[in-house]
Amino acid sequence: MAPGLDFSDWWGKDRKKGSPVVVKMENPNYSVVEINGPDSAFRPVEKSRGKNAKQVTWVLLLKAHRAVGCVAWLATVFWALLGTIKKRLIFRQGVAVATEKLGKGKLVLKIIRVFLVTSLAILAFEVLAYLKGWRYFESANLHIPSTLDLQGLLHMVFVAWLAFRADYIAPVIQVLSQFCVVLFLIQSVDRLVLCLGCFWIKYKKIKPRIDGDPFKSDDFEAPGYEYPMVLVQIPMCNEREVYEQSISAVCQMEWPKDRILIQVLDDSNDESIQWLIKAEVAKWNQKGVNIIYRHRLIRTGYKAGNLKSAMSCDYVKDYEFVAIFDADFQPNPDFLKLTVPHFKNNPELGLVQARWAFVNKDENLLTRLQNINLCFHFEVEQQVNGAFLNFFGFNGTAGVWRIKALEESGGWLERTTVEDMDIAVRAHLNGWKFIFLNDVKVLCEVPESYEAYRKQQHRWHSGPMQLFRLCLPAIITSKIALWKKANLIFLFFLLRKLILPFYSFTLFCIILPLTMFVPEAELPMWVICYVPVLMSFLNILPTPKSFPFIVPYLLFENTMSVTKFNAMVSGLFQLGSSYEWVVTKKAGRSSESDLLAAAERASKTMNQPQICRGASETELELLNQLKEQKEAAPKPVKKVNKIYRKELALAFLLLTASVRSLLSAQGVHFYFLLFQGVTFLVVGLDLIGEQIS
């Protein structure tokens, strides 16, 4: 029998080689280690054994230093906020109160003030009850004392308030909160479905494609005949800061000069700006660009009237497509080559929409938060709707229309302030399809001040409700499929334009603070915390670099619900401000490549001798008038911050509710209300547009 070669028992024995060694060192900075065998030094050692008293002291000092630094930073921010409140609210230095042109806006302010005064009175009453030991309001299961337990008139009034609150106020708030929670869940499901659709597009790499080279011609005798005739329109109104860069970018687009016409549609009522734009058009005209200047004497209909007037020209019938760019948009030279070919062999296509990109997205905290919203709008909402439904709202700029689609849909109408959404809905009802190009980006600006952003959002949320009233009969009687009608009415208009601002304002700005004073109607934790954070997380997915701003984004969106709710109400009931058009103020920011190109042109101009060309008398007069206008131009006025009273009133209401939540020991409610109140306070003091990189 062969001998066994199993050495496992022998190897597994705990064999000790050599004698144990003990190393002792007199230096107290080193620990004593006992080596028991050759492998014992490589065994894991407890973390606490290698530390001495000095190391622990240094670690504690470092942690204390960090904690003190954090507390000092918070104290500095708090002190600066108090100083701003003292300066702007008490002494009114360098501020002006934002006027309310709308009667409904004043009514909302009065209602908020009534809520604020009532909450302050209830808070004072319940603090007194808390100090006296009447803790009945700490639990939702109220114990109403009997008559024998009453301890005086004040106690009797407090008990009567508890009974009235439980029997009459709490049921109303509960019904309203449940209704808003249902709307909140429906809108969250819609947002989640859109995100899943975006993930599917990314996974399957779904996007509109161009087959082959659409401009390649085999006929050498007639080169370029496959390039269609394109009309480019640049509507503007008093755009002193951005007119030059937009005209320059459009004139440098790559397209045969005999197949393109650029219309500069100037509605400016400032003669100095008119002369500046005329001079810019004349400069590019001398360079051989086919560009013309148009100015209306009767400026009606705002942007829609401007575009309608330009489309009525006789020469427009010679063109097949029209590209539209607002005054702050700077298309790349290959924009037309990336968009127009999609119309080839696709006769049902009416619109090709490009995505916006922002040159000033990192200018301050306000621009960063806007970038989050707009990136989600383009990459998720419009891309998903374009890929699966072939319909979305036209953005008013950075798009190419088939002129036939505009004409068959009724052209530009002046009935609302959202003429872009109006023409998109009517074209959809006529059977035209849209595509969205997420890869084609056009540079533009976002508002850098809260005042400009607030006016822009008011127009963007009042116009759709006004349009919904006008388009509802046409949608119902149209010949499109039933599911398309349902998508237009319930998703496009009601859910995303009406329900969203309604529940955001009602749930988080009204009901939530009220539940602090009516604990019987307390909102569940997932409504206050979990679902809003999840929805904010989904909104930030298209811009991963914005994740550090998820909390300010959530709080700021709740703050903006006041403006959006007011705008929605004014548009739905056709109040005066729904017809108001305010041109969004621009700063004239340029991209980094534009600045490098400008510097290169300036260096070439300095190195090369100037060539004097002949000019007509009209051009000389134009230049002289331009110089006079520049010399007589007024000096820039110092910026005056605004005070927004509705936001300030809601700030104090939320802060009052946060103090009330402390009495009930509701930690999450306290922090949410506190941070939301501070956000309202910052916005109300017009601090949100300050330089925060």
Q: Residue 290, Cβ neighbours under 10 Å: how many?
A: 16
User: Which segment of 22-36, 81-95, 364-378, 489-503 scores lowest on mean pLDDT?
Assistant: 22-36
CB–CB of 531/63 below 8 Å?
no
Alpha carbons within 13 angstroms on the beta-carbon side of residue 20 total: 6
pLDDT score for 351: 97
What number is the average pLDDT over the span 420-430? 96
Pick 141 or 119 by higher pLDDT: 119
What ranges in 147-230 are assigned the alpha helix state H? 153-164, 170-204
Amino acid letter, 231? L
Pick 682 or 578 by higher pLDDT: 682
CB–CB of 324/396 below 8 Å?
yes
- Bridge-based pairing of strands 21-23 and 33-35 is antiparallel
- The length of the chain is 693
Composition of the chain by helix, strand, coil, percent to 5: 60, 10, 30
- The model's confidence at residue 58, banded by pLDDT at 50, 70 and 90, is confident
- The model's confidence at residue 631, banded by pLDDT at 50, 70 and 90, is low
What number is the average pLDDT over the span 674-681? 88
Distance CA 405, CA 394 (A): 13
**Tens digit of pLDDT for each residue in 147-163?**
545 556 777 777 788 88
- Maximum CA pair distance of the chain? 123
Distance CA 118, CA 510 (A): 13
CB–CB of 364/691 below 8 Å?
yes
Distance CA 172, CA 149 (A): 29
pLDDT score for 669: 81
- The model's confidence at residue 611, banded by pLDDT at 50, 70 and 90, is very low
pLDDT score for 127: 78
Give how far the C-alpha of residue 351 lies from the chain's centroid of Cα atoms, to the nearest Å.
24
What ranges in 40-152 are assigned the alpha helix state H? 53-85, 103-131
Contacts of 509 by beta carbon, 8 Å cutoff, 6+ apart: 558, 561, 562, 650, 654
Distance CA 40, CA 365 (A): 57
Please give the helix or strand (H or E) that residue 286 lies within, else none. helix 271-286
Inform me whether the pLDDT recorded for 230 exceeds 80. Answer: yes
pLDDT score for 619: 54
pLDDT score for 465: 93
- The model's confidence at residue 609, banded by pLDDT at 50, 70 and 90, is very low
CB–CB of 234/250 below 8 Å?
yes
Residues of the chain above pLDDT 90, percent: 45
Distance CA 582, CA 580 (A): 6
Inform me whether the pLDDT recorded for 623 exceeds 80. Answer: no
CB–CB of 564/501 below 8 Å?
yes
What number is the average pLDDT over the span 323-329? 95
- The model's confidence at residue 297, banded by pLDDT at 50, 70 and 90, is confident
DSSP codes, 21-50: EEE--S-TTS--EEE-STTGGGS---GGGG
Distance CA 30, CA 26 (A): 8
The helix/strand/coil state of 152 is coil
pLDDT score for 105: 57
Q: Residue 104, Cβ neighbours under 10 Å: how many?
A: 15
Give how far the C-alpha of residue 131 lies from the chain's centroid of Cα atoms, to the nearest Å.
45
Tokens 């906020």 locate to 81
Distance CA 305, CA 323 (A): 17
User: Which segment of 72-86, 387-401, 470-484, 512-526 scores lowest on mean pLDDT?
Assistant: 72-86
**Tens digit of pLDDT for each residue in 547-562?**
999 999 999 999 999 9
- 136: tokens are 């009945």
One-letter-per-residue 3-state SS of 554-594: HHHHHHHHHHHHHHHHHHHCCCHHHHCCCCCCCCCCCCHHH
Radius of gyration of the chain (CA): 33
Q: Which residues pair with 443 in a beta bridge?
A: 330, 357
Contacts of 80 by beta carbon, 8 Å cutoff, 6+ apart: none
**Tens digit of pLDDT for each residue in 69-78?**
877 877 776 6
Distance CA 87, CA 76 (A): 16
What number is the average pLDDT over the span 163-168? 86
- 108: tokens are 């909302």
Give how far the C-alpha of residue 296 lies from the chain's centroid of Cα atoms, to the nearest Å.
33
User: Which segment of 416-425, 574-583, 647-656 scores lowest on mean pLDDT?
Assistant: 574-583
- The two counts, helices (H) then strands (E), for the chain are 24, 11
Contacts of 148 by beta carbon, 8 Å cutoff, 6+ apart: none
The helix/strand/coil state of 167 is helix
**Tens digit of pLDDT for each residue in 3-32?**
444 444 444 444 444 555 554 555 555 444
pLDDT score for 624: 62
Q: Residue 85, Cβ neighbours under 10 Å: how many?
A: 14
User: Which segment of 347-351, 363-367, 382-386, 660-664 scores lowest on mean pLDDT?
Assistant: 660-664
pLDDT score for 53: 72
Q: Residue 329, Cβ neighbours under 10 Å: how many?
A: 23
Tokens 């329109």 locate to 233
pLDDT score for 60: 81
What number is the average pLDDT over the span 151-177? 82
Contacts of 607 by beta carbon, 8 Å cutoff, 6+ apart: none
pLDDT, the chain, mean: 81
Give how far the C-alpha of residue 294 lies from the chain's centroid of Cα atoms, to the nearest Å.
33
Pick 479 or 641 by higher pLDDT: 479
Terminal C-alpha separation, the chain? 84
Going by C-alpha positions, the residue among 467, 479, 365 that lies closest to residue 423 is 467
What number is the average pLDDT over the span 184-197? 95
pLDDT score for 400: 98
Q: Is the pTM of this model over 0.85?
A: no
pLDDT score for 497: 92
- Residues serving a catalytic function are 267, 420
Distance CA 508, CA 24 (A): 67
- 55: tokens are 């190391």
**Tens digit of pLDDT for each residue in 87-104?**
666 655 556 666 655 445
What ranges in 430-549 are assigned the alpha helix state H? 450-477, 482-486, 500-505, 512-517, 525, 531-540
Going by C-alpha positions, the residue among 608, 597, 685 that lies closest to residue 645 is 685
DSSP codes, 215-258: T--S-TTSTTTTSPPEEEEEEESS-TTTHHHHHHHHHTS-S-GG
User: Which segment of 111-125, 291-305, 540-554 scores lowest on mean pLDDT?
Assistant: 111-125
Distance CA 412, CA 406 (A): 8
Going by C-alpha positions, the residue among 290, 339, 310 that lies closest to residue 236 is 310
The helix/strand/coil state of 481 is coil
Going by C-alpha positions, the residue among 586, 532, 553, 497 that lies closest to residue 370 is 553
